[in-house]
Amino acid sequence: MIFTKAIKSAPHSRSSSPREDETRAKGSPSLGRVGTFSFFKLRTLRRGTEVLGCLKRETNVMTQASKLKRVIRARAEKTGESYTTARRQVLARTPRVSALSRPTPLPVQSPPPPPIVREPRVPRVPRGELSDRTARKSTGHGLEHWFLVLDKFGTKNHTKAAEFLYSEHKVQAWHAQMITVTWERRRGLRQENQSCTGTFQVSVSRTLQAPVDWIAAVLNGRESRHRWLQDASPALRKALEEAYASGKSMEVKKTGYARMRYKWLSSVVELRVTEKAGGHCSMVADSSHLPDAGAVPVRREAFSRALDRLREIAAAQSRAPMRIEPAT
């Protein structure tokens, strides 16, 4: 009875020993004993240690929490700071990635890309022949089909063979000519650059940055023609000067088209200039009736050099117009 009264008389005067007060003090050495697990104590460490709160990792969490407290207490004893101040300083210096953090997963290596399968390169079609792909697209049959047709027709005349394809098999005129030429070459009836008459021919073309009238004026003017041909083949320069001396000239037949035709030894040369969009034009130099196959590369080289030089002059005049004297 006396014991009960004593308790009731002093309900708020709970006394404790200094040792107990020290135990409950904030930052005391016995704070957060490792022997038990408290979820609320772990919440105070979430900022510095990034605790996941997963109970399966309970032991690891408690171990890391004990280490953190030991570090905080050691700093407080060394610097004389309060536990709260020491804790704030320790957490500020603690790296965000800790042992409690979820381990970084290894990068997933993507499977190697499949090997690139390249299609076999289609052989280059010789100059002046028709490809099998073009023949199928335009006629519905490949070259071998038309070769058998011409073999069965049994003629070596180019004109008759092309006319047979055009009239009997309804092949368009240009494709009938090209199929016939390709067939003649494959059967050994015609060499490359050889015409149906047995002579040879070659063509060279360039795109020039100038209008048709300007190109015609350059060729027809004596001084401008000399500047153009000063580094050209002597044979080409001589043949062209002889043509002008005989009264030939580059004639503008109609708007956007000019032509000149003259003799060079036993061959015939035709120069054609055709207007293109954007103030440009195309110049073609055709050489026909060449005596043999050996004359083809020589004539091609001569006109290639000449047209390349003319292209340089045309490009220069677009930046600084060149004075051209009247035609002579």
Computed over every residue of the chain, the mean pLDDT equals: 80
What are 33's two structure tokens?
């004993």
Other CB atoms closer than 10 Å to residue 316's CB: what's the count?
12
pLDDT tens string 1-25: 444 444 444 444 444 444 444 444 4
Distances (CA, A) of 297 to 65, 80, 200, 240, 327: 91, 100, 11, 19, 32
Q: Which of 49-63, 203-217, 229-243, 294-308 has the lowest mean pLDDT?
A: 49-63
Give 304's pLDDT tier (boundaries 50, 70, 90): very high
- State the alpha helices, DSSP H only, in the chain: 2-9, 18-24, 39-43, 46-49, 58-79, 83-93, 132-139, 143-153, 158-168, 173-186, 212-220, 222-229, 234-245, 295-319
pLDDT at 22: 45
pLDDT tens string 126-177: 878 899 999 999 999 999 999 999 999 988 899 999 999 999 999 999 999 9
Give 73's pLDDT tier (boundaries 50, 70, 90): confident
pLDDT tens string 98-133: 444 556 677 777 888 888 887 777 678 887 889 999
Give 254's pLDDT tier (boundaries 50, 70, 90): confident
